[in-house]
Amino acid sequence: MQERNKGRLAGLVAGLVVGTTLAVTLNASADGIANPTQQQALDGLETARNYILTHPDAPLPTTPPATTTIRPTTNPPITETPQPSATTPSGDAGFVSGMPWQSGVNPQSQNRTNVAAFQTMRGRPVDVIVIHPARDNWSALNANWAYTDPIPANYKGHLVFSMPLWPGNGSVGTNYNTEWTAWANRVEALDPKTDVRLAWEMNLPNPWHLNASNRTAWIAAFKRAAGSIKAACPTCTITWNPNWGNDQTGTDSRTAFQEVKSFVDVYGIDYYDAWNPVLSDADNVSRANQTRSLADSYNYAIANGKKFALPEWGVGCNGSGCQWAGHAGGDNPRFINHVYNWLKTKPANTIAYEAYFDEPASYIHSELRSPTVNPNSAAAYRTQVSALAD
């Protein structure tokens, strides 16, 4: 699924300076804040984000442009020599969820309150949080909110970052070694076992997609980025993450994978209950075994010496206004059971991580944390997680 993380909202929020005009103004009238503390400023920023979401056409107060401090680096220049694969983010016992593999959430709209609500809903802490920074430019990719807002206090799990291969104002042929090295230094300080979904869903028509005309430059860009990340953060990992099913960009993503797989630690797919949904016992079997679906992608990962992941998965609404209207399962507990029952057939140490896509927006309505959105799917999810954590 493309452009899913409210890019306009994230881009606007990235332009706010924490603790200044908009963030403080929206809280100050009620709380009398004149000189906010850091926490009050963060709370103000959250309020500002919610204001933008609920008032999309309202004019914004003028604020100074955001600045981003990137940790300086002394790393030597990066070459395209592959780095050794680091330990993948799964395989050892003792995950905080108590589950056999790392299990987590894509917390739309990227805040710790939603992570906490998701953990409460499922009755277990999460092992991974999948973060989607804004991607208009490098300043947006480095905006502080993405590295603070989604992460609860005293969080014990790991982070997964969804990163484009180049920013929105960039190009496939530009060398971003310096930017990638600085970014990797930053995430290493935050979580040295960060996983990077580099150029995720490159087989869909996203702005950073792989196609026949940019293939050579795209592969070179992937090698540069992955090499820079691994040189600066040796214990970070890289996930190769197409969308499940056939490539939609006019080239073969698996052929491209073969050229970069020495830089990759995990092979994953994003997997949703659509085109077509799992509505019967027969669907469980046929869907899992479709080309480039669960079984095929898992077998391909193992054959290439990689662990398997589901960085995004979830149910999807089926009514008017839904992106898969007429081709999705809605509140479908069968799909939840389909995914977890299939995962349970695989050795746990071959599964890197899975993360549910918890999105309340009307285009998908995959949210489970609300008791009213997908109650049957949420109940199935809780039952599965509880059984796996026992």
The pLDDT tens digits for 260-301 are 999 999 999 999 999 999 999 899 989 989 989 999 999 999
Q: What is the CA radius of gyration of the chain?
A: 20
Judged on CB neighbours under 10 Å (0-12, 13-18, 19+), 244 is buried
Judged on CB neighbours under 10 Å (0-12, 13-18, 19+), 212 is exposed
Per-residue DSSP letters for 41-61?
Answer: HHHHHHHHHHHHHH-TTSPPP
Cα–Cα distance for residue pair 363/359, rounded to 1 Å: 9
> Do the domain assignments include residue 208?
yes
> Do the domain assignments include residue 189?
yes
Cα–Cα distance for residue pair 369/231, rounded to 1 Å: 38
Q: Are 136 and 167 in contact (CB under 8 A)?
A: yes
Check residue 219 and give its pLDDT: 98
> Do the domain assignments include residue 97?
no
The CATH number given to whatever domain includes residue 334 is 3.20.20.80
Measured CA distances, 208 to 156, 224, 261, 363 (Å):
32, 15, 19, 22
Domain with 43, as residue range(s), is: 17-54
Q: Is the pLDDT of residue 56 over 90?
A: no
Same domain, 173 and 34: no
Same domain, 127 and 266: yes
> Rounded mean pLDDT of 28-54?
42
Check residue 19 and give its pLDDT: 35
> Do the domain assignments include residue 248?
yes
Same domain, 33 and 120: no
> Do the domain assignments include residue 23?
yes
Same domain, 147 and 251: yes
Q: Is the pLDDT of residue 51 over 90?
A: no
Same domain, 107 and 46: no
> Do the domain assignments include residue 92?
no
Query: Residue 384: phi, psi to the nearest 5?
Result: -65, -45
> Do the domain assignments include residue 72?
no
Q: Are 358 and 367 in contact (CB under 8 A)?
A: yes
Count Cβ atoms below 10 Å from residue 347 Cβ, excluding itself. Answer: 10
**Residue % of the chain over a pLDDT of 70:** 76
Cα–Cα distance for residue pair 320/304, rounded to 1 Å: 41
Q: Is the pLDDT of residue 364 over 70?
A: yes
Task: Indicate the average pLDDT of the chain.
Answer: 83
Same domain, 383 and 284: yes
> Rounded mean pLDDT of 55-79?
35
Check residue 93 and give its pLDDT: 52
Same domain, 47 and 161: no
Q: Are 321 and 276 in contact (CB under 8 A)?
A: no
List the structure tokens of 103: 């299990």
Same domain, 379 and 290: yes
> Rounded mean pLDDT of 109-123?
96
Cα-Cα-Cα-Cα dihedral sign, residues 276, 280, 283, 284 = positive
What distance lies between CA 109 and its chain's CA centroid? 12
pTM: 0.78
Same domain, 32 and 108: no
The pairing of beta strand 195-198 with beta strand 158-163: parallel
Range of lowest pLDDT (79-93, 208-222, 356-370): 79-93
Cα–Cα distance for residue pair 349/312, rounded to 1 Å: 19
Q: Number of folded domains in the chain?
A: 2
The SS3 assignment for 262 reads helix
Amino acid at 244: W
Please name the residues in contact with 356: beta carbons below 8 A apart, sequence gap of 6 or more: 104, 105, 106, 118, 313, 314, 366, 368, 381
> Do the domain assignments include residue 157?
yes
Same domain, 32 and 117: no
Q: Nearest 5 degrees, angle CA 181-CA 105-CA 344?
A: 110
The pLDDT tens digits for 83-112 are 333 333 433 458 999 999 999 999 998 999
Same domain, 50 and 109: no
Q: Are 99 and 127 in contact (CB under 8 A)?
A: yes
Please name the residues in contact with 144: beta carbons below 8 A apart, sequence gap of 6 or more: 18, 68
Cα–Cα distance for residue pair 381/390, rounded to 1 Å: 14
Same domain, 287 and 194: yes
